[in-house]
Amino acid sequence: MGKPTGFLEYDRHVNSSQSPVQRVRHWNEFHPPLELSERQKQAARCMDCGVPFCQSGIRLGGGFTGCPLHNMAPEWNDLVYHGNFEEAYKRLRKTNNFPEFTGRVCPALCEAACTCGLHGDPVTVRENELFVVEKAYEDGIITPQPPTVRTGKRVAVVGSGPAGLAAADQLNRRGHTVTVFERADRVGGLLMYGIPNMKLEKSVIDRRVQLMKDEGVEFKTGVDVGRDVPAGGLTSVFDAVILCCGAKNPRNLNVPGRDAKGVYFAVDYLTAATKSLLDSGFKSEAHISAKDKRVVVVGGGDTGNDCVGTAIRQGCAGITQLEMMPRLPEERAEDNPWPEWPRVEKTDYGQQEAIALFGHDPRLYQRTVKEILTGEDGSVSELVIVSLMPRQENGRTVMVPVEGSEERIPCELLLIAAGFVGAESYIAESFGVETDARGNIAANGGYRTSNPKIFAAGDVRRGQSLVVHAIAEGRSAAMKVDEFLMGYTNLV
């Protein structure tokens, strides 16, 4: 433990942030890092507690708490405090393939379980992690490390999101020859097209992908396995296949008027925005524009917030976000004690920007769309929304409409960010593997599907989840594939 009294001497300080009015003028990240001396103080706040809940990665109280990758945060926090940044990166790299991703977009399950958070503010674990990896890049510590020996085994990874990249990275380091297939034109999956540039600049992904290429991983983009390439074409050539295709079936809004013009799924909207930004800086007309439109987003999660931030940067005339559930409390309730994930109200960057630009929180709680109304050209012009109230049915809480609570609100662009309902069916059908009741590819604890040569990991197996869970899934699947190919594994 570097400084036994650090958590008593230093307050929690997070990276600064550009003001909402400043940052909505561009599409880049907007959190300048702390000075080195201040970052080391933040690392000194780590208590190196006897039971480090931050790295537990367990289910607790109906949710998940602690890092699913079991990052050894107390160890590298201590190394950062002492200025041993190279060793800090080596410890971090043992458990996390891509800390430059999780350090930007992870909701910090580790911090929710930090012992410092029991009676005060948790350690800035996520930002410390981001500092470690970016310092390693800056100092030239991160260089290509191709395996010295190849096993002669070939593995195909279908999908280049965080699960696919993690599996590919692990298996390549083991010495297997890995080819990653991606149906989009760029590598990264949801990292590339599901997360806006202001949360994760795409040069960060390209930097890591180039490193993997230099280490021997082959990437094939624009290849839709199961359509462009039949499943048999992979299973006949490769010794094992890992399906990391995501859970990309969006939950629909089944209401009158759903076929109106100007109604889109959030994933399509965000993908089009990022692709247009990268291809032409929005000079092309290929994207879905919110400029001068009154936008309504259905869904209060991270994806809904990303839609808010994107629409604001496109120049929308107004923004409303509909959330089915009641507003969460500002502080932990008695039935939500530490170290459970805190079920509290969070105002994210997009909502902060809406408040700054339009003068009010864009969220309307316990509301949903009842009907979509159109103008003469068939485009959405108004929504009929209805209030909801919780009711217990068969031991679970459901939200039901309140009779007579309907109201109309203007809308010229409607974005559906209501989550996902499983994997796209053609993947499972093409490979002839079984699916579960949720539509995801069924795989046992060993990540193996009903076909012993085919494995599954990430959202395609567990359903929509976090980037950190996907990386953990990819690493675990790589262990099982390695064991299948070699009879044992030394991956961890």
Average pLDDT of every residue of the chain: 96
Over residues 460-472, mean pLDDT: 95
Tell me what pLDDT residue 284 has. Answer: 81
Q: Grade residue 417 by pLDDT with cuts at 50, 70 and 90.
A: very high
Name the band, by pLDDT with cuts 50, 70 and 90, for residue 304.
very high
Query: Is the pLDDT confidence value at 342 over 70?
Result: yes
Give the pair of three-digit tokens for residue 94.
Answer: 């043992």
What pLDDT score does 165 carry? 98
Residues of the chain with pLDDT > 90, as a percent, come to: 92
Region 452-466 average pLDDT: 95
At 323, which amino acid appears? E
User: What mean pLDDT do residues 147-155 have?
Assistant: 98
- The pLDDT value recorded for residue 50 is 87
218-221 and 407-410: which strand pairing? Answer: unpaired
Dump pLDDT digits (tens) for 189-231: 999 999 999 999 999 999 999 999 999 999 999 999 999 999 9
Residue 137: pLDDT band with limits 50, 70, 90? very high
Residue 444 has pLDDT above 80, yes or no: no
Say whether pLDDT at 445 is over 80: no
Residue 161 is predicted with a pLDDT of 97
pLDDT category of residue 1 using cuts at 50, 70 and 90: low
233-245 pLDDT tens trace: 899 999 999 999 9
**What number is the average pLDDT over the span 126-130?**
98
**Is residue 422 very low, low, confident or very high in pLDDT (cuts 50, 70, 90)?**
confident
Interval 48-73 mean pLDDT: 94
pLDDT at 115: 95
**With 90 as the cut, is the pLDDT of residue 48 above it?**
no
pLDDT of residue 438: 87
How do residues 163-172 score in pLDDT, each as one tens digit?
999 999 999 9
Mean pLDDT along residues 365-385: 97
- At 490 the pLDDT is 94
Overall average pLDDT of the 260-271 stretch: 97
Average pLDDT over residues 306-313: 98
Full set of structural domains in the chain with CATH: 6-138 (1.10.1060.10), 154-248+421-486 (3.50.50.60), 263-416 (3.50.50.60)
